[in-house]
Amino acid sequence: MKSDSNLEKVLAGGHFAVTGELGPPRGANLEAVKEKAAHLVNMVDAVNVTDNQTAVVRMASWAVSLTIKEMGLEPNYQMVCRDRNRLAMQSDILGAAALGINTMLCLSGDHPSFGDHPQAANVHDIDSIQQLAMIKGMRDDGRFLGGDEIDTPPRMFVGAAANPFGDPFELRVLRLGKKVAAGADFIQTQCIYNLERFAEYMRQAHDMGLTEKTKVLAGVTPLKSGGMAKYMAKRVPGMDVPDDVVKRIASQPKEKQAEEGIKLLCEQIEQLKEMPGVAGIHLMAIEWEHKVPEIVERAGLLPRPKA
Amino acid sequence: MITATRKPMEEILKSVEPFSKILLLGCNECVTVCHAGGRKEVALLGAALRLGRLQKGLPMEVEELTLERQCDPEYVEELSRTIDQYDAVCSMACGCGVQTIAERYPSMPVMPMVNTAFMGASESHGVWAERCAGCGDCVLGYTGGICPVARCSKRIFNGPCGGSTKGKCEISNDVDCAWQLIWDRLKELGQTELYSKLMEPKDWRTARDGGPRRIVREDMAL
């Protein structure tokens, strides 16, 4: 094993993995974190803790990661390239590893123009693929990016995100290949609603031998309403929500839309379980953490394997 | 070229408030090409300044002059015999020109009349776009002649990020995705194999991150 990550153990055991997501609060309110996290205990194998997502300031990802670790969850500590140079990244990684964080996700980060500090400097000292290679090098070679030896290397299970639907489509699998070459132990994808197109992506990834070298967790998000479906379809960059999906949710009466969203999600999860190369799902129930137990139960994903 | 845009009139008028006689100084290089601070713009701003001050009941004498190159001590020297008659120099050159004046004439206030923007090229009539970030270590040979540092909003070396949509950047539909352009050009050139190479973390010392930069050519020292 490369790490003490529960996610690594679950994937190595050949189980269909389930990861969740938790967004830190916009204040020093740890109770809010604990309340959200409580819904996820025993429901998922790891929980992504976002890092200033959408370029909006929130409580530090490492702090929330440690908090939920104490509650028995396995944090997947997210780190974006937008806010830290290579020095800050490496020192945070050492601190996280020393305090028991075993899993990390490398990301570019949304551009500051989307967030609450559009005036902010945009760091991007290294990109997310270079970050991945850096963490792998710290772990496997015991060396900092600068070349010096590390006293006690961080044992991190390290992953990356992938968007199968960004443009240009033909580069998506090639870029996934670069992430795998850089050392991605696992991949979590952007939310998938177009299963057909995703299957094509996975087929290409499989043909390139990538699914043997990394574990791909398909990203899924329940659509809470017709409004949300339309918003995801039109406003979120790099998102592919087919018209029939939007129609299916929006055509229901308002009070039944959320239920229809969960039904659709469970059907998608069934398809994903059968899709070659898919090693699990990454369930992003945005501000809907309390629904996670119901979703994983109905999707037949319980009980989660014991570490 | 170095591009610039004229400062708003209100800001300019406020900056010259203390003065009653100024030298409005253009530059015949980049700012002429991008229509921000050449002879023509000097004449336009000169007229606007005189009028603006007249309207305030505080007339100001504005002498107009455009140097061949304001960032070159040789041309800036031309001012030495006449500069004392002014309260200030109002420079329409880029920041390099303004500072060359300031360095040569320590007791003369120099006010910038333009905002220096970026190193760019003309895309079409009246449109200039950023092309070079002056990072000091050019990678254009590997990226199909399109710069990921200057043209990717996240200066990603192994792009494109997930936000690339229909050839556009996630920040705006008005911004092309640099990595879409890079990929298209690599295909055109038959060099797609360059994409699969993992581009290593950049040494930013050659960029501004290494501190203010200088080029010293000993072979040219007099």
B178 min Cα distance to partner chain A (Å):
11
Instruction: Give yes or no for B83 touching A (CB within 8 A).
Output: no
Choose from A87, A124, A232 for mutation: most chain B CBs within 10 A: A124
pLDDT at B16: 98
- Residue B168 CB coordination number (10 Å): 17
Give the residue from A231, A236, A237 showing the smallest Cα distance to A249: A231
**CB < 8 Å to A113, chain B:** 153, 171-172
Query: Are B161 and B184 in contact, with CB atoms under 8 Å apart?
Result: no
pLDDT at A32: 95
CB contact under 8 A, B164 and A166: yes
**CB < 8 Å to B172, chain A:** 113
A196 min Cα distance to partner chain B (Å):
19
DSSP for A63-98 reads: HHHHHHHHTT--EEEEEETTS--HHHHHHHHHHHHH
CB contact under 8 A, B162 and A114: no
**CB < 8 Å to A177, chain B:** 196
Query: Are A77 and A105 in contact, with CB atoms under 8 Å apart?
Result: yes
pLDDT at A306: 85
Query: Are A160 and A6 in contact, with CB atoms under 8 Å apart?
Result: no
Query: Are A288 and A224 in contact, with CB atoms under 8 Å apart?
Result: yes
Instruction: Give yes or no for A145 touching B (CB within 8 A).
Output: yes
Q: What are phi and psi of A237, to 5 degrees?
A: -60, 140
A107 min Cα distance to partner chain B (Å):
9
Model pTM score: 0.94
Per DSSP (E only), the strands in chain A are 17-22, 46-49, 75-80, 103-107, 157-162, 186-191, 215-220, 278-283
Give the distance from CA B164 to its chain's centroid. Answer: 28
A82, A133, A167: residue with CB nearest B180: A167
Q: What are phi and psi of B4, to 5 degrees?
A: -155, 160
Task: Find the residue in A nearest to B184 (Cα).
Answer: A168
Q: Which two tokens stand for residue A131?
A: 């970050």
A246-288 pLDDT, tens digit each: 999 999 999 999 999 999 999 999 999 999 999 999 999 988 9
Residue A212, SS3 per DSSP: helix
Distances (CA, A) of B161 to A23, A38, A150, A180, B85: 21, 33, 30, 15, 57
Does A230 reside within a domain? no
Give the whole-angstrom CA distance, residue A109 versus residue A226. Answer: 27
Task: Find the residue in B nearest to A191 (Cα).
Answer: B162
Residues 162-221 in B contacting A (C-alpha not used; CB under 8 Å): 162-167, 170-172, 177, 179-180, 183-184, 195-196, 198-202, 204
Instruction: Give yes or no for B57 touching A (CB within 8 A).
Output: no
pLDDT at A228: 95
Does A38 reside within a domain? yes
CB contact under 8 A, B158 and A163: no
CB contact under 8 A, A124 and B154: yes
A7-48 pLDDT, tens digit each: 999 999 999 999 999 999 999 999 999 999 999 999 999 999
Residue A220 banded pLDDT, cuts 50, 70, 90: very high
**CB < 8 Å to A125, chain B:** 201, 204
Q: What is the CATH architecture of B2-118?
A: 3-Layer(aba) Sandwich (3.40)
pLDDT higher than threshold 90 for residue A237: no
**CB < 8 Å to A108, chain B:** 154, 156, 161-162
Helices (H), A100-225: 128-136, 169-182, 195-207, 210-213
Domain that holds residue A159: 6-224+276-298
CB contact under 8 A, A238 and B170: yes
Q: Number of structural domains, chain A?
A: 1
A113-159 pLDDT, tens digit each: 999 999 999 999 999 999 999 999 999 999 999 999 999 999 999 99
A32 min Cα distance to partner chain B (Å):
30
Q: Which two tokens stand for residue B192?
A: 């797609």
pLDDT at B12: 98
Residue A307 banded pLDDT, cuts 50, 70, 90: low
**CB < 8 Å to A130, chain B:** 157-158, 198-201
Kindly report, as residue ranges, where domains of CATH 3.40.50.2300 are found in chain B: 2-118
- Residue A307 CB coordination number (10 Å): 13
Give the whole-angstrom CA distance, residue B1 versus residue A67. Answer: 52
pLDDT higher than threshold 70 for residue B196: yes
Instruction: Give yes or no for A112 touching B (CB within 8 A).
Output: no
Residue A235 banded pLDDT, cuts 50, 70, 90: confident
Does A207 reside within a domain? yes
A246 min Cα distance to partner chain B (Å):
20
Instruction: Give yes or no for A54 touching B (CB within 8 A).
Output: no
A106-115 pLDDT, tens digit each: 999 999 999 9
Give the distance from CA B165 to its chain's centroid. Answer: 30
B162, B177, B204: residue with CB nearest A190: B162
B133-156 pLDDT, tens digit each: 999 999 999 999 999 999 999 999
CB contact under 8 A, B170 and A237: yes
Give the residue from A23, A46, A24 showing the smallest Cα distance to A215: A46
Does A255 reside within a domain? no
CB contact under 8 A, A237 and B162: yes
B156, B158, B162: residue with CB nearest A163: B162
A56-102 pLDDT, tens digit each: 999 999 999 999 999 999 999 999 999 999 999 999 999 999 999 99
B20 min Cα distance to partner chain A (Å):
37
- CATH number of the domain bearing residue A31: 3.20.20.220
CA angle in degrees (0–180, nearest 5) for B193-B198-B203: 125
Instruction: Count interface pairs A-B at CB distance under 8 A.
Output: 101
**Cα torsion for A235, A81, A134, B147, to the nearest 10°?**
80
A82 min Cα distance to partner chain B (Å):
8
CB contact under 8 A, B163 and A86: no
